[in-house]
């Protein structure tokens, strides 16, 4: 009874806002279908980042609407049909933007977590 509430305390395996960047990054390695993207993210992060389907597919549709990724159906002989996504030119630009934003934000946060000397890093 109380567990339903407590579950939400340790929720959010994925930092909000980073999922789009991760999807763009994985697709930058080459076209893939959605389910494969989520498996790559999971395995490459050592099971730490788990993308639920309720986050994955809305994110893919979101990115497609914005023109950063493009998709086409592919009927497979084995198993269900696949929707193959690939990064567009505009998506590659967006990936650069999001990566630099990520670098800036993490640097800012690290600066608060670990202050002290910041004279130079040479």
Partner DNA sequence: TGTGGTATGTAGATAGTCTACGTACAGGTA
Partner DNA sequence: TACCTGTACGTAGACTATCTACATACCACA
Of 2 and 114, which CB lies nearer to DNA in the complex structure?
A: 2
Contact between 35 and a second copy per CB under 8 A: no
Of 50 and 74, which CB lies nearer to a second copy in the complex structure?
A: 50
| Binds 113: which of a second copy, DNA, none (CB < 5-8 Å by kind) | a second copy
Q: Which of 53, 76, 90, 106 binds a second copy (CB under 8 A)?
A: 106
Record the tokens describing residue 14, joined without a space: 């994925």
| Binds 120: which of DNA, a second copy, none (CB < 5-8 Å by kind) | none
Of 17 and 74, which CB lies nearer to a second copy in the complex structure?
A: 17
For the beta sheet containing 82-87, the strands, ordered from the edge strand earlier in sequence to the opposite edge, are 32-33, 82-87, 69-74
Of 72 and 105, which CB lies nearer to a second copy in the complex structure?
A: 105
Distance CA 53, CA 96 (A): 25
Whole-number minimum distance, CB 50 to a second copy, in Å? 10
Please state the φ and ψ torsions of residue 77, each to the nearest 5 degrees: -75, -30
Q: Which of 52, 61, 90, 108 binds a second copy (CB under 8 A)?
A: 108
């Amino acid at each position: 009874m109380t567990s339903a509430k407590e579950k939400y305390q340790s929720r959010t395996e994925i930092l909000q806002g980073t999922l789009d960047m991760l999807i763009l990054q994985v697709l930058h390695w080459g076209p893939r279908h959605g389910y494969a993207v989520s498996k790559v993210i999971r395995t490459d992060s050592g099971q730490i980042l788990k993308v639920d389907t309720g986050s994955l597919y809305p994110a893919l549709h979101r990115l497609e609407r914005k023109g950063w990724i493009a998709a086409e159906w592919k009927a497979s002989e084995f198993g269900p049909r696949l929707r193959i996504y690939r990064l567009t030119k505009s998506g590659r630009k967006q990936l650069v933007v999001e990566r630099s934003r990520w670098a800036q934000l993490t640097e800012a946060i690290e600066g608060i977590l670990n202050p002290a000397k910041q004279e130079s890093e040479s």
